[in-house]
């Protein structure tokens, strides 16, 4: 029981740091791809949290991969108007 509790605490703080690195504080600020990444991170964190036989790294490494993917997509989104239009579904009439 103590092992499950400690694993939960470690994963909670890890996911909290990852979400803060993504820079999103509110659900209303999320783009669709960021919402998908957030749901995937939550799912990846629950697997090693629930099953003691699965190492914590099996949850941490995919979460880090999703963080890197989110950062790369954010950079591409800033650099390319065309990609921003695809990812964020902005039209030429909507400049916000």
CB 60: neighbour CB atoms within 10 A?
Answer: 18
Q: Look at residue 79 and tell me whether its pLDDT is greater than 70.
A: yes
Whether the model pTM is above 0.75:
no
Q: Does residue 93 register a pLDDT over 60?
A: no
Query: Is residue 49, in this structure, part of any structural domain at all?
Result: yes
Q: Give 89's pLDDT tier (boundaries 50, 70, 90).
A: low
> Which structural domain range is residue 55 located in?
2-88
Q: How many domains is the chain partitioned into structurally?
A: 1
Whether 94 is covered by a domain: the verdict is no
At 26-70, the pLDDT tens digits run 667 677 777 788 888 888 888 888 888 889 898 899 999 988 988
The pLDDT of residue 1 is above 50 = yes
**Within a domain: 77:** yes
Under a CB-based contact definition with an 8 Å cutoff, are residues 44 and 63 in contact? yes
Q: Is residue 95 part of a domain?
A: no
């Amino acid at each position: 029981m103590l092992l499950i509790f400690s694993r939960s605490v470690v994963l909670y703080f890890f996911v909290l740091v990852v979400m803060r690195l993504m820079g999103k504080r509110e659900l209303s600020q999320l783009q669709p791809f960021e919402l998908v990444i957030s749901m995937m991170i939550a799912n990846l964190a629950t697997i090693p949290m629930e099953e003691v036989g699965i190492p914590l790294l099996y949850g941490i490494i995919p979460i880090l991969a999703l963080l890197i993917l989110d950062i790369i997509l954010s950079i591409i989104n800033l650099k390319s108007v065309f990609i921003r239009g695809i990812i964020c579904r902005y039209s030429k009439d909507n400049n916000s």
